[in-house]
Structure 1
Amino acid sequence: MTSVLRLKSVPPDKKSEKAAGPGAARPVGHVVSLADAPGSTSRAVAHVERELPPGGIPAYLAARKDGTRSFVLWADPERRSRLATLVTASAAEGVSVYQVRGGQGELIGTFVREKALSGKGLRTRWTVTQTGCPEAVGYKGRIFWWYVWWLLFPVQVAIGVGSLLSGGGDVARGPRRIVWRAGREVPLEFRSDDDEVHVHATWVDWRLAAALAALVRTFDSWIGTPWDDSRT
């Protein structure tokens, strides 16, 4: 059975913020929801926020330009229990390695993102490795749709210029779907229409899939809205 995870923003509760008073910790702004099957009712399973380095938000935003990411999956909005943490093991020359660790610091799995044209292909390559499980490899977008997108690129540029001048129009985003394969199995899939991670294999740790759902969304295209690039 396929389960579905999706990162969602949480609208701020002005009344709760006012009652908490100045200086209180800001509420967690995003959650990962889980549905046990496509189309079924979802429930919040993790509350996601950036884990800032020394230097705070400016330091995080500077580091993320090179591919560095760091965030926490909390079990509750009050931050009482840590489910998992994503940290950057390395990020250089278009290749970033991320580790997902559980609440006790144990390694759940690893993500490797190799940016397109970084030396290993024309498409961005994502490798997912869960401890004790087969490695899964996926590529951003299908080659056919990338060809179509590049053929239409001059038109997209014209639309983009028109959008800036008139405030209207809509530029088509590049192909974003990712299908991960481990041999003949397809354990994971990112569907760009609804920004969902579909888990097809029962052996996939849902915490790893939740971290993946949050991580992929930090790499939205230049016309997307990465959730972790806020200046506040």
Structure 2
Amino acid sequence: MAQGRVTYGLDYRVTPPAVVGGDGTGHDTSVRLCRDPDSPAADRLRSLRAFHLHAEDGTPVARVITEQALGSRLSGRPAVYHVLDPYGAPLGRITLRRRRAFRWGRRCWTVEPVDGPVLRGYQGRLVWWALWWPLGLPVYLLFLAWALLAEADDGIRPPRRVIWRDPSRRAHLVFRAVAEDYQLLRHDVDPRLVNALIALHQSYDCPEEAGAGGWYGT
């Protein structure tokens, strides 16, 4: 695939779901996501993950396992996941850190490749969060009450856009919430790690039609 901009998305219409990437030339890639048969039972915060990725022909691509489950907002303990190659060698580590209770902050995803720059992405832009708290949150709560009464499926959601940047502030990967896709701008990180990150992110923050548990079904 050419080393240009690549657009990824998660296709929920196929079983098992697939992370599909394309550069606009018709040379698309597709990686299927399969939850491990012996995956651990859901923890209190539903943060345990154990799944593998394989190509369309069944060739193993990578595996994701949980090193540390998510803690309470008071503890601030992040969820930590290891991404391994088909032979068990580490490709990198992905960490999810939520905003701590009674403190200002945003959800943060950190990617630490074995080979490549560390990437850190925060959910939502500060300007949109500044508008969300005084304006969006009251509307969201009213809509949530209406949705519960009317059994509606769609609704207003907090800011969701994520831009993963390296220590030099260069953007590598962008999750576009409106389009529900991922734009890979640079190719310094192993694509297997990128696919694993998208799979993890979509298991926490997925489209309305995917359901509350996303593709992982927590």
Q: TM-score range by the shorter chain?
A: 0.7 to 0.9
Q: Does 1:36 align with 2:23?
A: yes
Matches within 5 A, 1:11-50: 11=14, 28-37=15-24, 41=26, 43-50=28-35
Q: 1:118 to 1:158 in 2, by over 3 A?
A: closer
Question: Helix, strand or coil for the counterpart of 2:43?
Answer: helix
Question: Helix, strand or coil for the counterpart of 1:132?
Answer: coil
* Number of the residue aligned with 1:70: 50
Matches within 5 A, 1:51-200: 51-53=36-38, 59-60=40-41, 62-63=42-43, 65-76=45-56, 80-93=58-71, 94-117=77-100, 122-151=105-134, 152-168=136-152, 170-182=154-166, 183-200=168-185
Q: 1:106 to 1:64 in 2, by over 3 A?
A: farther
Number of equivalences:
205
Q: Give the AA of the match of 1:146.
A: W
Q: Give the AA of the match of 1:35.
A: G
Q: Does 1:220 align with 2:166?
A: no
Identity %: 27
**What RMSD over aligned residues (CA atoms) do the two structures have, in Å?**
2.5
In structure 2, what is the Cα distance between the partners aligned to 1:120 and 1:134? 28
After TM superposition, the score normalised by the length of structure 1 is: 0.78
Q: 2:5 aligns with which of 2, 5, 10?
A: 2
In structure 2, what is the Cα distance between the partners aligned to 1:126 and 1:191? 15
Compare CA radii of gyration and give the structure with the larger one. 1
In structure 2, what is the Cα distance between the partners aligned to 1:221 and 1:150? 22
- 5+ residue gaps, structure 1: 12-27
- 5+ residue gaps, structure 2: 72-76
